[in-house]
Amino acid sequence: MSKILEFKNICLTYQTLKSETQAIKNTTFSIDQGEFVSIVGPSGCGKTTVLTMISGLLKPSSGEILIDGEKVTKVSTNVGYMLQRDNLFEWLTVNQNIMIGPKINHKKNCLSKEKLKELVNKYGLAGFEKSKPNELSGGMRQRVSLIRTLALNPKLLLLDEPFSALDYQTRLSVQNDIHSIIRSENKTAILVTHDISEAIVMSDKIIVLTKRPGTIKQIINLDFDKSLTPLERRSDPLFNKYFEELWRELQ
């Protein structure tokens, strides 16, 4: 398998007048094309920082990040960044929200209108194209946000705790949805989460970070049957095994 992302010996220190904070220290990992990877670790250990650097919005203090073998120097539409809050624009309709990315990029390298319409239908948003975000449920908003990210046809998706604002029930079903969307679109994804079980049901590989300054503590490869959905993984015997392992790692 080809490596889509190489994160090489990265350090990052935030400078402020009052202090400097080393958020990430000597961290190296790589991700293969088509992999679903979760990053877990204690609060404030630098998970968001890692994603922000991969997105090109933040430069590492040292080390280099390669995407498809090319050094990341600025924002690229090859990478789609889905923030924790959906940040939908309240004054735009669902359709217009989805089209923000393509509009900004003058439709270059974007999904076609037909393809987007198909996604909208597939993910339970048919009939809501002309609705404003405040008429949608939390789960629907999250799906709009995902489709908005997919509209630019990124190879690599960065998901920063995308489910944390949802209630448990919705969360389980949106996990299922988003997992299947990402699988069927054949994307590579990096998911940051606080939720151990979420990391287990969604990913092929889990990266555990130490507390700040964050660096890799452990990488756990999960070998669930490829055909299982996140929901089905929850009742798989392997689930408990991984849960205990991760739990210990995070103590």
Partner 1 sequence: MKKTIKIKKNKFEGSAEHRYYIQKEHTKTFLIHLARILLLIAFIGIWELAAYLEWADPFIISSPSRIVKQTIELYNNGSLFTHISTTLNETLLAFLLSTVIGAVIAVILYMVTPLRKILEPYIVILNSLPKIALGPLIIIWVGIGTKAIVTMGILICVVITTINLLNGYLGVSDEKIMLLKSMGANRFQILNKLIFPATLPNFVSTLKINLGMAWVGVIMGEYLSSQAGLGYLLVYGGQIFKLDLVMTAIVILCILSAIMYGIISIFERIVMKKR
Ligand X SMILES: Nc1ncnc2c1ncn2[C@@H]1O[C@H](COP(=O)(O)OP(=O)(O)OP(=O)(O)O)[C@@H](O)[C@H]1O
Note the residues at the interface with partner 1 (CB under 8 A).
55-57, 75-77, 79-81, 83, 85, 87, 89, 91-92, 100-101, 103-105, 152
Instruction: Assess 174 for contact with ligand X (CB under 6 A).
Output: no
Instruction: Assess 21 for contact with ligand X (CB under 6 A).
Output: yes
**Which tokens in the block code for residue 152?**
């630019």
Instruction: Assess 227 for contact with ligand X (CB under 6 A).
Output: no
10, 27, 36, 49: which one contacts ligand X (CB under 6 A)?
Answer: 49
Instruction: Assess 23 for contact with ligand X (CB under 6 A).
Output: yes
Q: How far apart are CA 64 and CA 72, in angstroms?
A: 8
Q: Across the chain, which distance is largest between two alpha carbons, in Å?
A: 52
Q: CB-wise, 47 or 205, nearer to ligand X?
A: 47
Q: CB-wise, 48 or 203, nearer to ligand X?
A: 48
Contact, 75 vs 56, CB < 8 A?
yes
Binding partner selected for residue 76 from partner 1, ligand X, Mg ion, none, CB under the kind-specific 5 to 8 Å limit = partner 1
Q: Residues binding ligand X: what is the number (CB under 6 A)? A: 12
Among 198, 193, 112, CA closest to 158 = 193
Report, in Å, the least distance between residue 237 CB and partner 1.
39
155, 171, 205, 212: which one contacts ligand X (CB under 6 A)?
Answer: 212
Report, in Å, the least distance between residue 160 CB and partner 1.
10
Report, in Å, the least distance between residue 159 CB and ligand X.
12
- What's the N-to-C CA distance of the chain in angstroms? 33
Report, in Å, the least distance between residue 90 CB and ligand X.
24
Instruction: Assess 44 for contact with ligand X (CB under 6 A).
Output: yes
16, 134, 235, 251: which one contacts ligand X (CB under 6 A)?
Answer: 16
Neighbour tally for 133: CB within 10 Å:
20
Neighbour tally for 178: CB within 10 Å:
23
Taking residues 55 to 74 in sequence order and writing x for each that binds ligand X by CB under 6 A, - otherwise, the string is --------------------
**Angle, alpha carbons 30-34-36 (nearest 5°):** 70
Q: Give residues in contact with ligand X (CB under 6 A).
A: 14, 16, 21, 23, 43-49, 212
